[in-house]
Structure 1
Amino acid sequence: MNFILWIIFGGLAGWIASMIVGNDGGMGIIGNIIVGVIGAFFGGWITDKIGIGGMPGAERPTSIISFATAVGGAIILLLILNALF
């Protein structure tokens, strides 16, 4: 069940991030899922490094904090990819 939640929330996070960055039309659902899941890992790593990774509720995959972290990480990932390609 947790894997399905990762896919759903990853897709939503990737889709929202792609709309914010302006890449919405070109990635498709698989691209949104990949960017969202990688963005969640990246966002979690960043928040851990700056010292806010241990916030209450952040460990639950369905928390608003986790979702915001995933969207933020996906935005940063898309900005980096846009700069490289």
Structure 2
Amino acid sequence: MISPLAANVAAAHLGFGIGWIAWIVIGGLAGWVASKIMDTDAQQGLLLNIVVGIVGALLGGFLLSLFDVGTYGFGWVLTFITALVGACILLFLVRLVTGRR
């Protein structure tokens, strides 16, 4: 279950500031870079990169909210870094569960 603070952080990111199209672009870039870092690029296409990046951004935002840190005041750079780190964590967890390299 997502904490109310994480939901507020996600709502702030998704509803204000950079907008939905920018989230898709940042998610796609973060997912693609994360797939390169985690060496899963050959297994993923563009759509999966976007999904991994957006879910990774939500995961990263949730993790930052646990420490009462928000990215919405710092623009797209910290949002991208949050999405990238979250996407790498997500790909790592998927690798642990599935046992794939």
Matched, 1:23 2:40: yes
Aligned length: 81
Matched, 1:8 2:21: no
Please give the alpha-carbon distance, in whole angstroms, between the structure 2 residues aligned to 1:60 and 1:78: 27
Match of 2:68 in 1: 51
Match of 2:97 in 1: 84
Which runs of 5 or more residues in structure 2 are unaligned?
A: 1-17
- CA deviation map 1:29-79 (0-9, x unaligned): 0000000000000000001102333xxxx2169521111000000000000
Q: TM-score, normalised by structure 2?
A: 0.74
Q: TM-score, normalised by structure 1?
A: 0.87
Please give the alpha-carbon distance, in whole angstroms, between the structure 2 residues aligned to 1:31 and 1:38: 10
Runs of 4+ in 1 over 4 A off after TM superposition: none
The 8 Å contact of residues 5 and 61 in structure 1, kept in 2 or not, is answered as no
Which runs of 5 or more residues in structure 1 are unaligned?
A: none
Identical counterparts, % of pairs? 38
Give the drift of 1:3.
1.4
| Superposition pairs of residues 31-46 of structure 1, within 5 angstroms | 31-46=48-63
Question: Partner of 2:45: helix, strand, or coil?
Answer: helix
* Two-structure CA RMSD over aligned residues (Å): 1.7
